[in-house]
């Protein structure tokens, strides 16, 4: 009889996934192919997760960094092919990244929101006004907080009102994975 597998050991460096990720990757079915790359430098590990169609068309990708001395995973890039937007691929990749982050022992995920929906537009931050007045200045026709922002939908929150840095607890994403997976299955 084999001894039980130690669940605290990370997958080998040349793989991003092991059986602990299969509970999420199985939702891609036979329509899509998922791949992952791994690069290490200094104290950082960079992971890239890519979803492609069976005909090798890039659908979506997420790049993230793990610092061995930090409790946060950092999303450095999220991209969804315009033809596939609105089909939950971005949220699905964030969910995969959250699971991968938990395997690395991280407790939070951070990112810099560079979308057009970001609160605290660059124009606002360059205007010199007292902090309490910052919410009253906005580019014409734009609200400072657009709830259609993918990161806000996932539960990320801005650390400060006039900054684009966002953060979320990994357990929050993982606890709310069922609705994300259900919508992903419905749309694909």
Query: Would the pLDDT of 173 be above 90?
Result: yes
Once rounded to an integer, what is the mean pLDDT over residues 130-137?
43
What was the pLDDT predicted at 41?
87
Render pLDDT for 32-73 as a digit per residue (tens, 0 to 9).
Answer: 988 888 888 888 889 999 999 989 999 999 999 998 888 999
Check: CB of residue 89 under 8 Å from CB of residue 59.
yes
Domain boundaries, the chain: 22-177
Angle between helices 177-187 and 89-103 (to 10 degrees): 140
What was the pLDDT predicted at 162?
67
Confidence of residue 92 (pLDDT cuts 50, 70, 90): very high
List all residues 6 or more positions away from 46 whose beta carbon is below 8 Å from its beta carbon.
Answer: 38, 39, 40, 63, 64, 65, 66, 76
Query: Would the pLDDT of 9 be above 70?
Result: no
What was the pLDDT predicted at 108?
95
CB atoms within 10 A of CB 152: 18
Distance (Å, whole) CA 140 – CA 179: 35
CB atoms within 10 A of CB 58: 13
22-177 to CATH, choices 3.10.20.600, 3.40.50.300, 3.40.630.30, 3.40.50.1820: 3.40.630.30
Higher per-residue confidence, 155 vs 126: 155
């Amino acid at each position: 009889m084999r001894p039980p597998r130690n669940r605290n050991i990370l997958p080998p460096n040349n793989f991003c996934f092991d059986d602990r990720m299969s509970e999420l990757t199985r939702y891609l079915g036979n329509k899509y192919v998922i791949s992952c790359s791994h690069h290490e430098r200094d104290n950082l590990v960079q992971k890239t997760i890519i979803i492609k169609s069976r005909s090798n068309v890039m659908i979506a990708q997420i790049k993230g960094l793990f610092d061995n001395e930090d409790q946060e995973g950092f999303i450095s890039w999220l991209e969804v092919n315009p033809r596939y937007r609105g089909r939950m691929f971005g949220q699905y990749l964030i969910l995969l990244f959250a699971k991968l982050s938990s395997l690395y022992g991280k407790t939070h995920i951070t990112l810099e929101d560079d979308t057009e929906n970001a609160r605290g537009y660059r124009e606002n931050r360059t205007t010199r006004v007292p902090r309490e007045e910052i919410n009253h200045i906005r580019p014409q026709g734009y609200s400072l907080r657009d709830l259609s922002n993918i990161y806000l939908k996932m539960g990320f929150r801005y650390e400060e009102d006039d900054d684009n840095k966002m953060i979320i607890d990994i357990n929050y994403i993982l606890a709310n994975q069922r609705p994300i997976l259900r919508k992903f299955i419905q749309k694909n």
